[in-house]
Chains A and B, each alone.
Chain A
């Protein structure tokens, strides 16, 4: 599903964010990216989504060479990839329902599809009763659920999560992890960057550890350290 072959990324000012990284992630895997701040986790994720382009090496996602892909194809790549963030990136003036529907509307999905898919996904994330709330009327955990709903409503092959529990308390984080686990069990490949030791140690999934842009460890059913 995802394949990195000696991928390097250097930002302006000679900042090496990823150095000679190779890895292969199978369909349906759940992978934690761990490592200290600045070790290149976010860069790893942004390369998969073509928010950044690798300077060296080859990166394929769902069989497509992401680096070589012409820019007009990028939106179609992104439709296969859900993406969630530490800060949720919800639109403050839209309701929960509208935020989720927006994700389908702007990729041209017909209205009947939106009318059936959005309530279904809100049910899945447990927010059916809060569909008409605005984001700032929700708790952090609920906001993250909305963002997961938006990322997953189009049934992507891959879900990227960049420190999704970074702003949440431990109890709430557990709820979010349950949801991501459930999504993963439905066949979606999940790649999640995190700082959260206890989550990684509890879940016992594959762990890729980055250290100053270098993959230092890659083990299945790993722990944080």
Chain B
């Protein structure tokens, strides 16, 4: 068993080395395409976090005072339920607000620890019938004058711009990434095909003496999988650079005054990295499996 493992490892690396130029090309393509996939995911996540409270048509939020009375709360709810100007709303109670706060500031534990669910303001996230900004501002002003209301926040144009921008950028990156992932799979297929060609004699002898098909295939499939994994591993540092530089740039710009300071937590970057490794490995395995079944009739 151990000697078989050693055999696979040795054969795989000999083959990688022999095929160096194609191997490097395949690995770099995987690295670039997965960096784009990762960047796309990070930008989307960053924008989602920055605009978390204003999604799905929510145009403004009525924050109640933490100590608002049940009557005051009921009056607001009454208006929301009955006004034709309001299409819908969701109520975020203290506990939910606290949970959300914890998530948004998971990078800043001291901030999370400084508050409790009790001091979080419950809020109504409101979808107006008419999202026109003049109309929204007028309704928001009326809510702001009600007793028990602490503050009304409206979705600013800046937030909409951020959303729009992030959607476009992350979609464009994703399209490019998907194309490149396809290209990487083809390159891996080609590299493995070349490796198979370089060892045609050995494969012939192996079949002759009764090596099983899997025994013959495994080193080639490992080779493709390793291309994918190394490429993905190279994409991981790129991901951290995107996180540091690009997202930091957004945070510091004036575009999102309300939510400056929201970052993608490191945990998300690591999760994304694991995804990239998985995608890399799978792409490599699929590319080499196709090469092995198509070009090596074993």
Contacts and interface: CB of A to CB of B under 8 A. Distances in A.
Contacts of B206: 106
Nearest to B7: A105
Nearest to B201: A91
Interface in A142-181: 150-151, 154
Interface in A62-106: 71-72, 75-81, 83, 89, 91-92, 102-103, 105-106
B202 interface: yes
Contact of B209 (A72, A106, A110): A106
Nearest to B208: A83
Interface string A102-136: 11011110110000000000000000000000000
Interface stretch (B93-101, B210-218, B262-270): B210-218
- What range describes how many residues of B lie at the interface? 10 to 19
Contacts of B212: 72, 75, 107
* Most chain B CB inside 10 Å of its own CB: which residue of A71, A75, A83, A110: A75
Interface string B98-130: 000000000000000000000000000000000
- What range describes how many residues of A lie at the interface? 20 to 34
A150 B210 contact: no
B138 interface: no
Contacts of A102: 202, 205, 209
Nearest to A94: B202
A102 B209 CA distance: 9
Contacts of A78: 207-210
Chain B's interface: helix, strand, loop or mixed, by majority?
helix
B202 A91 contact: yes
Nearest to A92: B201
Interface string B1-44: 00110010000000000000000000000000000000000000
B204 interface: yes
Contacts of B4: 108
Contacts of B210: 75-81, 107, 154
A111 B206 CA distance: 17
B202 A154 contact: no
Given A110-B3, A111-B3, A79 B209 contact: yes
A107 B210 CA distance: 6
Nearest to B202: A91
A151 B202 CA distance: 15
Contacts of A151: 209
A81 B206 CA distance: 13
A80 B201 CA distance: 21
B236 to A, nearest CB: 36
B211 A89 contact: no
B3 A103 contact: no
A95 to B, nearest CB: 14
Contacts of A103: 205, 209
A41 to B, nearest CB: 18
Given A105-B7, A110-B3, A75 B211 contact: yes
Contacts of B7: 105-106
Interface in B181-206: 201-202, 204-206
Given A78-B209, A89-B208, 4 more contacts: A89-B205, A102-B202, A106-B205, A106-B211
Interface of A: 49, 71-72, 75-81, 83, 89, 91-92, 102-103, 105-108, 110-111, 150-151, 154
26 contacts: A72-B213, A75-B211, A76-B210, A77-B210, A78-B207, A79-B210, A80-B210, A81-B210, A83-B208, A89-B204, A89-B205, A91-B202, A92-B201, A102-B209, A105-B3, A106-B7, A106-B205, A106-B206, A106-B209, A106-B215, A106-B216, A107-B209, A108-B4, A111-B3, A150-B209, A154-B209
